[in-house]
Structure 1
Amino acid sequence: MEIMKLEIISRQTIKPSSPTPDSKKIYKLSLLDLLTANRIYVPIIFFYQNKEGDNSVDVAQISSVLKKSLSETPTHYYPLAARMKDGVTVECNDEGAYFSEARVDFHLEGFLKHPEARDDLDLLVPGEIQSNSSDMGSLLLIQITVFSCGGIAIGLRSVRKVADAHSISAFLNDWTTMAPKSGEEISAKLTTFFQPGDSLSMPEA
């Protein structure tokens, strides 16, 4: 497979639209969480095909809706917008999640069908952890990557100490549900991209 070229378009921090209640400002980690190393960021990638077959995708519109819905979703998952305070607690200070946008000069279908695609998967998740230690960096990092065909990959890294597989699954389900409600600017085309359960898996080699 030819080398896939990725271009980062923007980077920013998305903060919750509503503040965390004072009663929930400090989140204490469980005993099981405490046994997990601080620096473990678990990656997840979801793929969404452009069902309309139109490569003239409005990236700005898609990004705007996803960021707006993302800002509304962490109000229910306040630790994801927090920062590690010490070894046993998380300070829910609404600092927000890391969000980046990227483009690749490759078709999604060709990428998914190619056995060597696994070699490039790291390009589709946020690669720049904001700190050498999760004590200072975002606990949730997201990258939206648009393929040349209009397909989209949504890559995430989350700190295992704060969010396990069940928590991230619930967060993603709520985020996908929130996206179509995020404003009149959303189009029918975007809805085809971001549907609960519409993700694709990497094929077996």
Structure 2
Amino acid sequence: MLKPSAPTSNHLRTLNLSLFDQLAHRVYVSILFNYLPINTCNKLQQSLAHTLTKFYPLPGRFRENDHQLSIHCNGQGVEYVETKVNADLAKFLHEPLVDLLPKMDHRPSSPLLGVQVNVFNCGGLIMGIQVSHIVADAFTLATFVNEWVYTSLTGTTKDCLQISFGLLSSLFPTRVLSGPQYSPPPPNSTTRPKIFTKRFVFDALAIANLKNTIEDSTTSSS
């Protein structure tokens, strides 16, 4: 368990979730990052510990006595794993990406964030991240990763970055819900629906043409 570099302030120890968080599926959102050969594992741990001080709910845990409607921001830590992969990154990218994500399950005592750094023979690495969908959406995850990257490169956190948690819960508090609640089947279930993913790649020329089209249309309308 990797803990924040500084403890969370007492007045931030409890984070009430919003109604939208309450309705979110009890699943982990996953993302993979591929990097060319670099030697940054120690730097990754240090910068992650500093980044977690700003994103203090992530190293916390769900409170077990309130049906996971709040997070105890106790700095218990996030799961951090480093693995050695007996293959080269270039070859592995053409094969199914398996076992590159930390093993996570949604229990009150489980970490809300997991990171697995997979180092290949060539020195390249694939970093897999899983975060609870209840506490982080895609925007929050992207903000967290960008802050982590900045801290890893510079050794400091962004002074201008002000993270505010709890605003949504003040506007849309949780409540007692009636009727059955949907929960996705377990990963090994035979009734689990098939999920299809499509990847769209835009090269530099396509993006430049798109920008020119937008600029031309803006000029015409003005």
TM-score scaled to structure 1, two decimals? 0.71
| TM superposition shift of 1:126 | 0.6
Q: Helix, strand or coil: the match of 1:17? A: coil
Q: Is 2:55 aligned against 1:77?
A: yes
Counterpart position of 2:153: 180
Change (3 A) 1:161 1:174: same
Aligned partners of 2:7, 2:148: CA distance in 1, in Å?
A: 18
Q: Is 2:8 aligned against 1:20?
A: yes
| TM superposition shift of 1:203 | 9.1
Residues 76-100 of structure 1: per-residue CA shift (max 9 Å, x gap): 1011111011321011000011100
Aligned partners of 1:102, 1:137: CA distance in 2, in Å?
A: 21
Aligned partners of 1:43, 1:94: CA distance in 2, in Å?
A: 22
Aligned partners of 1:49, 1:32: CA distance in 2, in Å?
A: 38
Amino acid at match of 2:58: L
Equivalent residues in 2 for 1:101-140, closer than 5 Å? 101-112=82-93, 114=94, 117-118=95-96, 121-127=97-103, 129=104, 132-140=105-113
Aligned partners of 1:122, 1:29: CA distance in 2, in Å?
A: 33
Aligned partners of 1:18, 1:96: CA distance in 2, in Å?
A: 11
Q: Helix, strand or coil: the match of 2:142? A: helix
Aligned partners of 1:29, 1:37: CA distance in 2, in Å?
A: 14
Q: Helix, strand or coil: the match of 1:122? A: coil
Counterpart position of 2:129: 156
Aligned partners of 1:26, 1:48: CA distance in 2, in Å?
A: 36
Residues 45-88 of structure 1: per-residue CA shift (max 9 Å, x gap): 100112xxxxxx65xxx221111111000111011111011321
Percent of aligned pairs sharing the same letter: 34
| TM superposition shift of 1:175 | 0.4
Equivalent residues in 2 for 1:180-199, closer than 5 Å? 180-182=153-155
Equivalent residues in 2 for 1:1-16, closer than 5 Å? 13-16=1-4
Aligned partners of 1:134, 1:65: CA distance in 2, in Å?
A: 30
| TM superposition shift of 1:109 | 1.2
State how many pairs are aligned.
Answer: 156
TM-score scaled to structure 2, two decimals? 0.66
Runs of 4+ in 1 over 3 A off after TM superposition: none
Counterpart position of 1:67: 45
Residues 127-167 of structure 1: per-residue CA shift (max 9 Å, x gap): 2x2xx533111100000001111111110111000011111
Change (3 A) 1:162 1:97: same
Aligned partners of 2:59, 2:28: CA distance in 1, in Å?
A: 15
Coordinate RMSD, CA, aligned? 2.0
Amino acid at match of 1:16: P
Aligned partners of 1:136, 1:122: CA distance in 2, in Å?
A: 26
Give unmatched runs, 5+ long, in structure 2.
157-198, 202-222
Give unmatched runs, 5+ long, in structure 1.
1-12, 51-56, 184-201
Amino acid at match of 2:85: V
Ranked by relative contact order (alpha carbons within 8 Å, sequence separation 6 or more), the top structure is: 1
